[in-house]
Each structure stands twice: as structure tokens, then as C-alpha cells.
Amino acid sequence: MPASLASKRALRLSLIPFLFVSALAARGADSGETLARQGASGAPPCVTCHGTDGRGNAAGGFPSLAGLSADYQAKQLHDFASGKRANPIMAPIAKALSDEQIQAVAEYYAGLDAGSGQTDQQSSDKAAALPGRDWVVNGHWQANQPACVACHGDGARGVGNHFPALAGQHAGYLEAQLKAWQSGQRKNDAGGLMAAVANAMTEQQIKEVAAYLAALPTTGEIPEHARPDPAPRVADALNNYFQPPLLEDLPDNEFGASVRRGADIFRHTSTDAEAGRYVGNSQSCVNCHMNNGRQANAAPMWAAWGQYPAWRGKNQKVNTMAERLQGCFTYSQNAQASEAGQAPAADSQVIVDLMSFMFWQSKSTPTGEALPGRGYPELDKPAQPFSPERGAGLYAEHCALCHGDDGQGTALAKRRYQFPPLWGDQAFNWGAGMHRVNTAAAFIQANMPLGKPGSLSVQQAWDLAAFITSQPRPQDPRFKGDLDATIKDFHGNRAMDYYGKTVNGYHLGAPGTLEQWRKERTTGR
């Protein structure tokens, strides 16, 4: 469907509520429930269209609001009022509400039971077979599009205030919104992320994705089929890159079980029952290795597998793959602060399973050869010297939505993050490769923001990297008490490394600096 036609249909759907405009309640300090049931001056009762249970009306195109994040709903109402979100029905209603009324009614709907989009195993099984599942749970990485659940959370039940629950929402509404994002009729998100998603979709894919999301239960156990596959599809369209095998190629035997365990560890390292014991922050492998380690130019595992054993300056020895993986735990996952206090042993089940996962997806790659798509593509030098100050502004604009204003990510539970922390206690330490400005810049330009890789300019990527890598973070585990010695031995590339430098009042890497940061976070600076 062309964008203009889509937007017309969205408009037509949104005109219907006018038929139901009725008695208005007095504007004032009414409770959310009163506002919803009786309306306010200039605002008809919400229940007219969104129902007394808040579940909306599929036929009318009215979305379910029950259980949706209050802040998200409030933002939408403000956007309707300001015109940031264009909607001829909701605009006058939102304008008629005070800030307090908006907050009250949003909180009222947030508190309603979202109910369940499906109540029995049979309907869940049916949903599992829907063609839209793959995009929703695995993403569409051949167009660099992450899974819906990558932002909207497990089971698409929403994350924080920016990513509303999609599960159980009416398919027609979801479809209309995707088309509105696609056409540009709707654009009230941050960074144009939804436009990027919707633009990658055909009309058929929109229909399919909407149907699957609508079929997902809004409460109760998240069904297995709503969880990402351990080996998500990669890249039919990325013809220049290696195509790792698909899940259906994985044998159903002991080895296959090891691969699946490895894939799970890869995705949820910090909260894995066993692997998590070796993670001293809240990082998982997938944070740096997109699409569960399968995406070209995002340090894919299939390009790394055939590169070891290799000598590494990092620890001044030849490393096997097991030792290389231990390095990830030691540095990127700051094992020294973990329960175990160190990386898992080279022959531990954790390392074996991670290796099985890597090995399996590397099937047929040529041993010892550098594959296109490996690592992060080396970035051109910036036109101007990179600047943490410029980076700060860019961060607020492009990154804070997911990684937080304070760089502390979006947490779902203790050590479980939808979006990872980038500095502070829960981030990678000063020994991780990502602490180098050039590595971070290359990663950012090729992979960030999620769903819009390559959208930042080279200069922006460098500036962002400089901002992020000049923040306090956990000590380099190779530090033995002498900062200068650690710099000399392990941080020789001074041009790309803030370790040991003073930025924004923090003597980075010096003893006490992370404590200073922690204290200032609590007390303010």
C-alpha cells in the first residue's frame, strides 16, 4: 500500500469516535476513573471509545489502553494536544485536559487489567505458527531491524515509558499505526526509530506482525514461542556475508542442547543461573554482538571462531577461543566483581556451551581466514578531533531514550536490562575493547541506534564514542596499584584511550574515581 493511501485509512478510522461524543463532565480535580467514565469539559468520556474495561474496540480502531505505561499514555495525550501526534479526534480531547487530568486518566488506564489476548494453550499454539512471529521475536536483520521485543520487551509487554506494550493490542490498530509511522503521518517517537522499522516492512509484513502481536497474551507466563530463537535468521539479503545456519539445521541431540544453552547464555549472560556467577556487571554477550552474535559488522561469532588460537597483546600470550571468551568475562563483563570473582574455567560448561554455539553457527567457514563482516568495520578518521562535549549533546538526542540520561540503561530487574548501562558499576571495565574510542566509534556507527545503523555521521560516531568512553567505569583488572604502570603496559594508544586522563572532574581509572561517581549519583554534583 502506498503511504498516502495508508494515511487516509488511518484518518478514516480515527474519525469514527465523533459519532460517540456525548455528555461532558466538569473540568477539575476529578479522579482518573471519573474522567474516564464521565469525561471533562470539552472532553467526552474515554469509555465511549476505549470501553469500560479500557480494552478499546477492535472494530472501531480504538486501542486498548488497559495496563499501558502511564507515562507513555500521558506523553501521547500531550502530543495529541500539541499536534506532535496528529489525530483530529484526540487533539481536541487532549487539549481540553489539564496536565493533572492527563496524568490522572493515564494512571487510571495504566492500572486496569490488560486482560489476556489468549487464554488457552490452543490459541497460543496457533499464534506460534503465525508468519509474523519471526519478525516480532527475532527481528528482520537482513534489513538491520531488531525484533519488536528488543525494545518492547519480553512478550512485547512494554519497557519503561518509551516502549508501550504491544501484546494483545488490536491488530487493526497496530496495522494502522505501523502504516502511519511508515507514511510519516505519525512521527512522535525519538530518533525516528519507528519510521525506520515501518519503512523496512511491506504491507504484508505489517499485517503479519500486527496479527502476531495481537495474538500474544498480555498477562501470565510468556509463551515459549514469544521468546527469541537461539539462532535467529540472519541475512538472506546480505549476500556479501556469510550465512550462518538456521535453527532448523540444529541437530536435536546432546550437541544441539549445548548449542541452545550457549545461545541462551549469550543472550542473558548476566542473569544466567550459571554464567551469571562470572558476570560482575549487567552485561550480556549480545550487547556488543548484535542479533545474538550473528550479525555482520557487529563482531559476529561465525567470523571470530576461525581466528583462534592467536597471540593477543592484551595478555601477552597465544589465546585459544576458550581463553578469548574468558577475556570477555574478565573485561567486558568485569568478572572480578562477580560472585565467582573470575572468568569461568576454560573447560567449564559455560565456556563449552558458548563454544558449541559459536562453532555450530560457523559451519563451513574457512579456518583461519578473515571473513567479510568480521568485527566492527574500521571507521574513517573524524574531520575534527572527537569531542566528549559534542558527544554529550548527541547522546541526549540519540542514545538516552534507551541507555538512560545517566547512561545506566533500562533495567527490567536486578542485573537484567532491556538496554545495557554504558558506564558506571554495571558497565564494561577499563580493560574491555569497547573502552577504546576507535572501537566504540566503529561499533556505534555500524550498529547504533538499534534499527538505524549507519544513520549517524562518522564525526557523530566519534564524538559519541568519546563521550561514552570518557565516563567512569570499573577498574582494569590488570591494574596492580600503579596507574602509570598500567597505562604503560596496557594503554599505550593514548590517542584512543581516556584511561588515566581527567575528564569532567573524574581522574579516569584512578582508585576512588568510581566511588566518587557513585557518590555523586546519589548526592548530585
* Chain residues in the site for a second copy (CB under 8 A): 253-255, 258, 305-306, 308-311, 317-320, 322-323, 326, 345-347, 351-353, 355-356, 359-360, 362-369
Closest by Cα among 317, 328, 380, 384 to 354:
328
Specify the residue, 375 or 409, whose C-beta has the smaller distance to a second copy.
375
Cell (9 digits) for 321:
577461543
Strands (E), 159-316: 310-312
Specify the residue, 69 or 348, whose C-beta has the smaller distance to a second copy.
348
SS3 37: helix
CB of 317 to a second copy, least distance (A): 8
Specify the residue, 12 or 363, whose C-beta has the smaller distance to a second copy.
363
CB of 319 to a second copy, least distance (A): 8
Q: How far apart are CA 402 and CA 433, in angstroms?
A: 22
CB of 336 to a second copy, least distance (A): 18
Specify the residue, 134 or 323, whose C-beta has the smaller distance to a second copy.
323
SS3 163: strand
Specify the residue, 202 or 364, whose C-beta has the smaller distance to a second copy.
364
CB of 175 to a second copy, least distance (A): 42
Specify the residue, 211 or 304, whose C-beta has the smaller distance to a second copy.
304
Bin 113: left if φ > 0, else alpha if -120 < ψ < 50, else beta. beta
Q: How far apart are CA 370 and CA 377, in angstroms?
A: 12
Specify the residue, 194 or 304, whose C-beta has the smaller distance to a second copy.
304
Specify the residue, 319 or 387, whose C-beta has the smaller distance to a second copy.
319
CB of 301 to a second copy, least distance (A): 11
CB of 254 to a second copy, least distance (A): 4
CB of 357 to a second copy, least distance (A): 9
Specify the residue, 327 or 449, whose C-beta has the smaller distance to a second copy.
327
CB of 257 to a second copy, least distance (A): 8
Q: Is the torsion defined by CA of 290, 291, 296, 299 positive or negative? A: positive
Specify the residue, 346 or 412, whose C-beta has the smaller distance to a second copy.
346
Specify the residue, 128 or 346, whose C-beta has the smaller distance to a second copy.
346
CB of 117 to a second copy, least distance (A): 39
- Residues in the chain, how many? 525
Specify the residue, 272 or 323, whose C-beta has the smaller distance to a second copy.
323
Bin 16: left if φ > 0, else alpha if -120 < ψ < 50, else beta. alpha
Exposure of 429 in the CB half-sphere (CA atoms within 13 A): 23
Q: How far apart are CA 173 and CA 178, in angstroms?
A: 9
CB of 352 to a second copy, least distance (A): 6
CB of 108 to a second copy, least distance (A): 53
Note whether 246 and 233 are within 8 A (CB).
Answer: yes
Q: Which helix (H) or strand (E) holds 99?
A: helix 99-111
Bin 42: left if φ > 0, else alpha if -120 < ψ < 50, else beta. left
Q: How far apart are CA 188 and CA 82, in angstroms?
A: 11
CB of 224 to a second copy, least distance (A): 23
DSSP state of 312: E
Backbone dihedral angles phi then psi of residue 116, each to the nearest 5 degrees: -130, 130
SS3 394: helix
CB of 364 to a second copy, least distance (A): 5
Q: How far apart are CA 143 and CA 205, in angstroms?
A: 13
Q: How far apart are CA 139 and CA 502, in angstroms?
A: 41
Q: How far apart are CA 276 and CA 499, in angstroms?
A: 27
Note whether 316 and 310 are within 8 A (CB).
Answer: no
Q: How far apart are CA 435 and CA 423, in angstroms?
A: 10
Specify the residue, 13 or 234, whose C-beta has the smaller distance to a second copy.
234
Q: Is the torsion defined by CA of 155, 421, 361, 239 positive or negative? A: positive
Cα first-last separation, the chain = 53
